Structures are given as C-alpha cells and as structure tokens.
Chain A
Amino acid sequence: MSEPLALTGAPDEPSATGSVRALPSPAVAPARRRALTEALAAWALAGPAVFFLLALFFLPVIGVLVIALTDWQFGALTLAFVGLANFREVFADDGFRASLVNTIVYVLIVVPGTLVFGLLIALLIESGKSCRSFYRAIHFLPFMATLTAMAVAWEALLHPTIGLVNQTLAAIGLPTANWLRDENTALPVLAVIGIWQNLGYAMVLFLAGLKSIPQDLYDAADIDGADLWLDRFRTVTLPLLGPVSMFVVIVVALRAFESFDTVKVLTQGGPGHASEMLLYTLYRESFEYLRTGYGAAVAVVFLAIVVTLTLAQARLMDRKVHYQ
C-alpha cells in the first residue's frame, strides 16, 4: 500500500529492517509517514475483531457485573444498586453451596483421574512402535463425540435393570445400584464420565510432550548410568513433561468446572442437589427460573473461580516448571 511511496523517498529502503538508525535524515519523514499508514492499516485490519471483542466479551462481562450488583430483572426498565445483596442471597442458599461443593469435588476427581490415565496411556503408546495411531484414535474418540448424545448412551448403560453395568455387576456377584438416582453415586458417576471424555485429550497432549523430548537426553542419561526404564523416566521424561502436565491440569480443570451437558441430560442436578454443579445452577436460575440477579451472581462467582485458577496456575507454571 504505502511501500512504493516510501521506496521513492529512500532508495536503500529494503535494508531498513536491520539498520533503521543508519538511514540518512531525508528518509525520516517518509519513514514516519510509513509508520502512520502501517498503524492505520493495522487498526483497519483489527477493527472488526476489536469491535466484536468489545461487544461480545468486554461489554457482557461488565453487563454481568452490573446485573449482579443491581436488582435488575428481565424486561425491567429501571434498576437500582443493591450492593452485594444478590451474593448474600446466593451464599445463603443451601442449593448453591451444595452446587459449589459438588463442582469442587467433581474437579478433584476428574483432574487427577484424567491426568494419571492420560499419562499412563500416552507412555504405553509411546513405549512401542506398532499400532500407535490405532490406539491413539480409540482413546481420543470420546473427546470428539457429541457429549449430549453420548450421555444418552451412558444413561442406557447405567439403566438400573437393563443397563450393561448392572447386568455385569450382577453376573459377577457384585452389588448393583441405581447409579443416577442415588445421591451417593450420581456425582461420582458423572465424574467417571468426565474422565472417560477427557483422558484422550490429556493423552494426546502428553504424546506431543513426549515426542518433543530430544533423544540426546536419553542417550546422555544412558551414558550417565540410567539403564533402567524407571531411571530414565524419573530423570528425563517426568521433569521434561512438567510444562505439558501443568497445561493439562489447567485445561482439564477448566473443562471440569464447565461441565454441563452430562448434568443436564442425566441428572438435572438431582437427586436433591446431589449432582448439581455451578454451570447447571447458572443455567437453571438464569434461564428457567428467570432469577436474573441470582444467576448473574452465580456467573460472577464462577468467573472468579475460573480466572483465579488460570492465573494462579499460570504463575505456578512460570515459577516451577522447566522451560527450554
């Protein structure tokens, strides 16, 4: 766009990338003009994205904070500042407290479960040469598959009388349960489905991490006397998987916090509040019960947790984890 103009002003322009300071003074004015056109072009190119980021991300965040701090309801024309009243209502509600605790318990089951199984399967796949992509494909499948539809399949599996799970347990003489209707099992069962869905993702991330470990390091470890697989694993593999592991913890934790589909399809948060989780509470209060202020307060709590988690772990990652 502006380049031909600048070229007429300074014939030796192509070398400008490296040696801006060496330019003769007559080139300064075109250079400044070029900087201006470059800035204008940049803002024109980024303009639509900026507009939509503001309209669809930043404005709504402010909106949700405003709704949470006022008495505004859907369709209302006026609103008044009510301070933290909505938050007090939320935290005084047994249902919300149960939802918060359930979500934390769910995350504390899903994250380690996904991490351990994902790492083990990745190590097993990487330890041999044959059938790698076959095994990778099988274990990754649940992550791709539409969870709503798979939840319907899980419901059939967990059916108290005709489900495969109870049939199998009965056949080998173990006690059966009404998995999704029992307050002791509903949440753990959802967590198992969460692990089932996410472990392939963790596996794929670990596989990429394993592949990026240079062979030199294993050779060096060999020379240093790390003959056993376990020695090499402890001294090379595990430390070098640090960044990937932290990343897996973050993304799986965030995905677990955002679990919604299985709750909606399988339990609707029940029995009682036994399997209610934050996002389901947010959805139900905001859009089914139309308790706008309550819903917004739940959204703010949810946002605070997610942001804190991401930032805390990003800091942890900077401090503790090995980088190349």
Chain B
Amino acid sequence: MSINMHPNRLLQPSAIVRHAVLLTTGALILVPFVWMVSLSLKPPGEIFRASFSFWPTQFYGVENYTKALTEAPLPRYMGNGLIVCALILGLQILVCAPCAYALAKLRFPGRDLLFAMVLIGLLLPHQVLSLPLFVLGYQLGILNTYAALIFPYVVSPFGIFLFRQFFKTIPDDVVHAARLDGLSEIAIVWKIMVPMALPALAAFSIFSVVGHWNDLFWPLIAVRDESLMPPPLGIMAFKSEESGNDYGPLMAASTLIVLPLVVAFLAAQKWFVEGMTGGAVK
C-alpha cells in the first residue's frame, strides 16, 4: 500500500476536496426540497417580496399547513395512496411469488416459454398499454374506482423476475427437505421460500410502493373523483384550484406528500438503496 493512502491522516488535501465537492453537490441537490419547505412556512406577503432567507420573518407554517390539510382533502389523498399501494403490493406478492417458485425450482413443459413471457413483460412500458387497459377498465365497469387504480398492476414481471433470481440461490436441498416433511408445493412457497427471501421481498416492496405512490400517469386516466385521487393527482388538482396564487399551502401540501417516503428512506436507507438496485448489479 502506498504512502499517500495512510489511513491515520484524516485531513489530507484529497479528503478536503472530497468533502467540499460532495457538500456542494449535495446542497445543490437539496435546493428544491429546502425551498419547498421554506415557502411552506412563509406568509403570502413574504413569498412575493422575494428574499433569499430560508427562515420566515413571520412564521406562517401553522396557517399554511392547516389550509393544506383542510381546504384540499390531503388526508384523503394520502389515505388513497396508502390503500392503493398496499393492495397493489399484496396482490403482486400473492401472484408473483408462486410463479417465481415454479420458474426457479420446478421442472415443467413450457417453463422457458413462461420465462420468455416474463422477460417480454419486463420490456413493455406500461404507458403503451394504457389505451387498451382503459378500454378494459371501461368494459369491466370499474373506471373511477379503487379497482381501476389497482388492476393493471396485479402482476409484476419485475416481481416474478426478482423472486425467481432469489429463489434460485436457495439450495434445492431445502425444497427436498420440506417435501420430505410433507409440505405441499404451495406451502413450500409461503412457509419456506418467501420467509427465506425476505431481502428480495423488502426490495420488491420498496420498489413497488415507491413506484405507485409516485405514479401520476395511470391515475390521471383511471379516476376522475377527487375522493379517489392518490397524492400526485391530488396535488395537481390542488394546484389548479389555487391557480398558482397561493404558494404557501401548495408547498405545504407538496411537503406532506413527499414526507412519508423521505422519512421511510432516511430510516431504512440501506434497504431502499438495495430495493432500487436489487437484481440490477450482479
């Protein structure tokens, strides 16, 4: 090991440069967040006076956040987001895990065909399917309901793929032992494979919830009623109602919508990062 990599010297020039650059880029990255929170704490007069100060001279946070929570049905939007994300995730795991187990551990005619179908599904951008899915939702008579928000995502090709990759790393002996214990195949999926695949399960859950909490495209098509809107659609409705004049409450609403994922992310950073890169780098 060369001399310039000595571990005891903390404040080498290279370390200072590293911190300086990363703090600068980090600060730039955070500007939109900081500005959003800052505006959410300011009264209208101060917002339109346009100053550089982050902290308001007159604290108006209570008024803005109260307005965001009462004038827009923000709690409703967030409740909708929660319901939709939870149902999508639950159904996806229910549908994908058994299929992934079959692909990973069982031998059957058509397995390669099925796996090819999963890969093709991975390739298809969901937005391309929106027109036929809209027609399908219309035929089923479920447009403008929770079901409309959920049904296109019941199966996730990525979920099947991820679970299959993980299940393949579990030794076959585990499956044989479970069979000797008299477990049925479906019991092996839920009692052996899924509990052993918790990292993959966590990764997929994060991937799925983040994706659907943040999705704007499909909800825009699937629902009209304000009472059914998930957070991104809700914030758009709020924005057009306010027609951009009342920045404080709008920023308060945005902050509240971004907050759950940010808090969850900061609390479980490692899991989130693994969730977003799971299966990507191998």
Question: Which residue of the partner chain, among A45, A125, A146, contacts B99 with CB atoms under 8 Å?
Answer: A45
Contact A38 to B269, CB < 8 A, known contacts A50-B114, A124-B22, A283-B217: no
Interface residues of B in 30-71 (CB under 8 A from A): 30-33, 35-36, 39, 47-48, 50, 52
Residues of chain B touching chain A, judged by Cβ–Cβ distance below 8 Å, are 1-2, 7, 10, 14-15, 18-19, 21-22, 25-26, 29-33, 35-36, 39, 47-48, 50, 52, 94-96, 98-99, 101-103, 106-111, 114, 117-118, 120-121, 123-125, 127-136, 151-152, 154-155, 157, 160, 172, 176, 179-180, 182, 184-186, 189, 210, 213-214, 216-217, 220-221, 231-233, 235-236, 239, 244, 247, 250-251, 253-255, 257-258, 261-262, 265-266, 269-270, 272-273, 276-277, 280-281
Q: Are B131 and A310 in touch, CB under 8 angstroms?
A: no
Bits for A30-71, please: 1 = Cβ < 8 Å to B, else 0: 000001001101111110111011011111110110010000
Measured between beta carbons, the chain A residues less than 8 angstroms from B231 are 146, 148-149
Q: Are B132 and A64 in touch, CB under 8 angstroms?
A: yes
Stretch at the interface among A107-115, A182-190, A301-309: A301-309
Report 8 cross-chain contacts, Cβ distance below 8 Å, ordered by A residue: A41-B106, A43-B110, A49-B99, A128-B15, A149-B235, A155-B244, A222-B1, A283-B217
Q: Are B29 and A196 in touch, CB under 8 angstroms?
A: yes
Question: Which residue of the partner chain, among A209, A296, A306, contacts B125 with CB atoms under 8 Å?
Answer: A306
Cα distance A55–B106 in the bound complex, in angstroms: 24
Q: Which DSSP category, helix, strand, loop or mixed, fits chain B's interface?
A: helix
Q: Are B33 and A247 in touch, CB under 8 angstroms?
A: no
CB closest residue in chain A, given B221 = A287
Cα distance A205–B280 in the bound complex, in angstroms: 8
A-B contact count (CB 8 A): 301
Contact A212 to B114, CB < 8 A, known contacts A139-B29, A153-B36, A303-B128: no
Min CB distance, A72 to chain B, in Å?
9
Min CB distance, B54 to chain A, in Å?
10
Measured between beta carbons, the chain B residues less than 8 angstroms from A124 are 18, 21-22
Interface residues of A in 147-174 (CB under 8 A from B): 147-150, 152-157, 161-162, 164, 167-168, 171
Stretch at the interface among A83-91, A94-102, A129-137: A129-137
Q: Are A1 and B50 in touch, CB under 8 angstroms?
A: no
Q: Are A38 and B220 in touch, CB under 8 angstroms?
A: no
Q: Are A205 and B281 in touch, CB under 8 angstroms?
A: yes
Residue A3, interface by CB 8 Å: yes
Residue A253, interface by CB 8 Å: no
CB closest residue in chain A, given B253 = A149
Question: Which residue of the partner chain, among B117, B172, B213, B258, contacts A150 with CB atoms under 8 Å?
Answer: B258
